[in-house]
Structure 1
Amino acid sequence: MSKQTGLFFIVFLCLNTVAMAQSSVSKIDLSIYPEPEKGYKQMVIEVPHSDNDAAKKIEFTVGKWMQLDECNKHGLQGIIEQKDLEGWGYSYYIFKSDGNVMSTQMACPGNTKVNQFITSQPEMTRYNGKLPIVIYIPEEYDVQFKIYKAEADTYRASEVKHK
């Protein structure tokens, strides 16, 4: 076998392994979670396992796209409740909202409307590359998330001297 053929074979095996790893839809069977209630859908956040899961956090927000003025700050009213999955030791989240949007009340010149993703208060949870984060949300909403990672550097706080 020539060097070129051998190299091609190794690259093919590596790419095939990566493709197979990415094709796995879920780390655990999601059928253990309850079915979404009428008017709701089930969303899942899955992140890769790392050697340093404890140094990471996930922040997720529930929101929806809306045409709103561009000069005011807007926020979606609603709450994210954490529930226990009975008998499994896992948890999941349910977002409940009446759909109302709070806003500052500045007068906007031109009253231009833009498409914005309006979110509720974010929820911070631990990063776990072995378990999904399951969230139930109203059908017209969506979930976005960020991953935060702690730096290796540590810093010392300053002492305040009192007389």
Structure 2
Amino acid sequence: MKFSKTLIAGLVMMVGVNTFAQKKAEKFEKLEIEMFPKAKDGYKQVYIQLPVAKNEKDLKVEYFVGKEKMVDCNNYFMMGSVKSQDLQGWGYNYYEVESNGETAGTLKGCLNKKETKKFIYIKPEIVGYNSKLPLVFYVPKDLEVRYRVLRPDAGMKKAVQK
């Protein structure tokens, strides 16, 4: 009797975990990045593969290129640029990052000298959402790329007239 209760509890738990895993599973298009050039010395190739989504034309992707640093209370940003390049003959594009990792920031007098770890990044960019194509980046080896998906509000709102 004790064995059957344990068996039933185990099966219920397995079904619950499996259902949760299926809900979390996202569908991805087959990824092909072989046509993109290899990274040059001192750089690495990174990519973002987006899952298939409903109404992709309504979605946007905001990407950030930077690195974590210990900083004080000032607002910091990373110096550098991200340039879109055309992959000749394919009609795709990729992004080349130019930055030596230097940062700049405001000059507030911080009363609390405590430093915290923050992700400091180059000015972010927003691009269209497309699950069929990866977003490919060539970044200096000490930098990373992060992103977030921007979704529209439920409805359009009207501006107030004065």
In 2: Cα distance, 1:132 partner to 1:42 partner: 12
Q: Which residue of 2 aligns with 1:151?
A: 153
User: Alignment partner for residue 88 of structure 2, among 86, 92, 95?
Assistant: 86
In 1: Cα distance, 2:109 partner to 2:129 partner: 41
Amino acid at match of 2:48: I
Amino acid at match of 1:89: G
Q: Tell me if 1:41 matches 2:48.
A: no
Matches within 5 A, 1:64-79: 64-69=67-72, 71-79=73-81
The answer as to whether partners of 2:27 and 2:52 remain within 8 angstroms in 1 is no
SS at match of 1:58: strand
Q: Which residue of 1 aligns with 2:110?
A: 108
Q: 1:115 Cα deviation (Å)?
A: 1.6
The number of residue pairs the alignment matches comes to 148
The answer as to whether partners of 2:61 and 2:126 remain within 8 angstroms in 1 is yes
| Structure 1 residue ranges (4+ consecutive) displaced by more than 6 angstroms after TM superposition | 21-24
Q: Tell me if 1:27 matches 2:30.
A: yes
User: Alignment partner for residue 62 of structure 2, among 59, 70, 76?
Assistant: 59
SS at match of 1:92: strand
In 1: Cα distance, 2:82 partner to 2:111 partner: 35
Q: Which residue of 2 aligns with 1:95?
A: 97
The sequence identity of aligned pairs, in percent, is: 33
Q: Which residue of 1 aligns with 2:5?
A: none
In 2: Cα distance, 1:23 partner to 1:127 partner: 15
Q: 1:150 Cα deviation (Å)?
A: 1.2
SS at match of 1:54: helix
The answer as to whether partners of 2:68 and 2:120 remain within 8 angstroms in 1 is yes
The answer as to whether partners of 1:27 and 1:132 remain within 8 angstroms in 2 is no
In 2: Cα distance, 1:139 partner to 1:22 partner: 29
The answer as to whether partners of 2:50 and 2:131 remain within 8 angstroms in 1 is yes
In 2: Cα distance, 1:22 partner to 1:37 partner: 32
Amino acid at match of 2:154: A
Structure 2: stretches of 5+ with no match in the other structure: 1-11
Output the TM-score relative to the length of structure 2: 0.80
Q: 1:28 Cα deviation (Å)?
A: 3.3
The answer as to whether partners of 1:27 and 1:131 remain within 8 angstroms in 2 is no
Q: Which residue of 2 aligns with 1:4?
A: none
Q: 1:146 Cα deviation (Å)?
A: 0.8
User: Alignment partner for residue 137 of structure 2, among 113, 135, 139?
Assistant: 135
